[in-house]
Chain A
Amino acid sequence: MSSPKQALAHPASSAEAAPGTPPGAAGGARGRGAPADADSWRGRFYRWDTKAAPYAFVAPFFVLFGAFSLIPLLYTAWYSLHNVQLSSLDHQTWAGLDNYRNLLSSDFFWNALKNTFSIGLISTVPQLLAALGLAHLLNYKLRGSTMWRVVMLTPYATSVAAATLVFTLLYSWDGGMVNWVLHFFGVEPVNWRESDWGSQFAVSSIVIWRWTGYNALIYLAAMQAIPADLYESAAIDGANRWQQFRHVTVPQLRPTILFTVVVSTIGATQLFGEPLLFGGVSGSKGGSEHQYQTLGLYMYDQGWIIGNLGKASAIAWSMFLLLLIIAAVNLLLTRRLRKSQ
């Protein structure tokens, strides 16, 4: 702030502030009077402090984040080009693109990719639609509004492990709560563990249960930011509640909806805990027929059950590429939407 002035007043001190001089070294100012000495030391410390402090404050974050997230990211790419076995970790040999070639010719990889997509779709779409409706209701003038919000968020506080264990039991073939309730509606019991769609739906329902309330709160926050006069003028134009919701609320929420779509898509791509625990003993296989083996599970299975860490790295990078593609598609769609408006 006042550094140029100080430099003029104390030429000696500014020379000392050259790089390499420790900030506390007061040696050169000895010839001067005591007050000036203190002053220049302070001035230098002050300048050094204002310059260095921002870096010192962001450094822990970047050092830790770099060491445990960014550098591993690159190493994963490196390992994906190697043959790395869990049984002999120190013995790594160059494999080139073998791991990737292996993946592309593996039915299980394509199966996992397909499952990740289908489970992602049947968990994300209903979840976000329900959240939108729920947020709309929570936005009414309610008695005990905080209580309702807290209750809707409770599943979020439940861990994947606990939630999945409970749902697994609810979905069991005989004696399970879900089939028992269905039988009152005259529906034949569904084999939630073995059937293709049944099991995928069961896994998705755990995701939906845990995250709907969370997304509803995000929508609610955005709804409360919509200016009142928009609704008033819509009401004057004769729009009923549904029309107001469709033509005022939803368009105003578009950025937030996009945000939740992106976040949920990322979450769906990484789906792991729910299918792992839902499968019990054969968890990492995603059921007897791999019917709900996601990419996340496939990576865990190849890496830590079968023990091929090189291949697991290749799967991890495929997941990343998939995310990048999704992000790019998203960006394109957003641009389109904006242009068409």
Chain B
Amino acid sequence: MQEKYLSRNFDIPNAHTLEVFEANGGYQAMRKAFKMDGETIIEEVKTSNLRGRGGAGFPCGIKWSFLPKESDLPKYLVINADEGEPGTFKDRYLMELDPHRHIEGCIIAAWALGIRYGYIFVRGELQSAIRRLEGAIKEAYAKGYLGENILGTGFDFDLYVHPGAGAYICGEETGLIEALEGKSGQPRMKPPFPAVVGAFQAPTIVNNVETISSIPWIIEKGGEWFASMGVEKNGGPKLYGVSGPVVRPGVYEAPSGVTVRELLEDYAGGMLPGHELKAFIPGGSSCAVMTPDKLDSQMGFETMREAGSSMGTACITFMDTDTCMVRLAARLAHFYHHESCGQCTPCREGSGWVAKVLDEIEAGRGRMEDLDLLLDMCGNIEGNTICALGDSIAIPVRSYVQVFREEFERHIKEGCCSFPAWSKRRKGSSEAA
């Protein structure tokens, strides 16, 4: 297993405090960056092949280069810390266990891009992450790392935590910007992209937590070093989440290109005794489901696409043979229906319809033609919405129906769920308020 970088401080007691962070080399990359000009830093990030770690995988350095150099309005840095893709839980670790590394990355990005204000948009439920970040920001202000004339450079940068309030759609960058502006988080049409017209109508860079937490390492050790750790076009160390019925679920650091089998067997200790692997989702619930014959697929944006799914957030969920795939597809459809912002009809109406049809099949009231109806609905939702939430329901549901079609047909033929342990379970989501 490789040396740890992103997770180096996870096991150090009180690494979330400025004192311990600095004792372990923290804020040295920031000092180094202050001796470099913005262009050089952007070039270094491009060389590093750092791809956005939020799921879409857009090259970070290229995104940065889209930000206009001159602007009449103040430019903004917005951190997407609204981690909510089912199966995904890596950014929480970075915010709770190593908040100063993240803040250091924000300062370097702001310096390189001439940004005046930054907001870390954290999902509201993650109160422990919010507290840790706010505490660390306070310490950084007191030390003169944030605020006006940082370390005598003449550079001013203010950084705030902005809490979300429970809406998965705010993980989409323009939905997040709307929420930051105090509105409901309904995604905007693109273009214009946020780099040109973003928060408060000003040029804005939106980056994921892990992406920005990688920046200090790129500055400290160089873009080439970072790129050398990955596979082609996917640079650097990377955090992987592993969940489901495995021996050691958790967040693990490994290079891009690690195989799913290595993550399952070497890192997570394999499936729990008595549990046999049936399927897995490689990077959050919006990815197509995969079967055990794909275990040797490499984690990477291109490699996962070639294997028939996607890298997404690189947080893998494993499922055992007790799992009812119809029920699981229905549960995910309910999630996306609940989280649809409602502005696009295919997503708003389609997600509810898909969920209803899946519920009927799971309850044993399905018809054989429902399977083609589901595929048809998925085809009508995908690509026909402002943001990717519509795709996020269509892609997985289509894959469940295609890959596990026999299981769906069995439910319909037998008129009941074939997994008694799952069939008694409840449906959908309920809210008290």
Q: Do A and B bind each other?
A: no
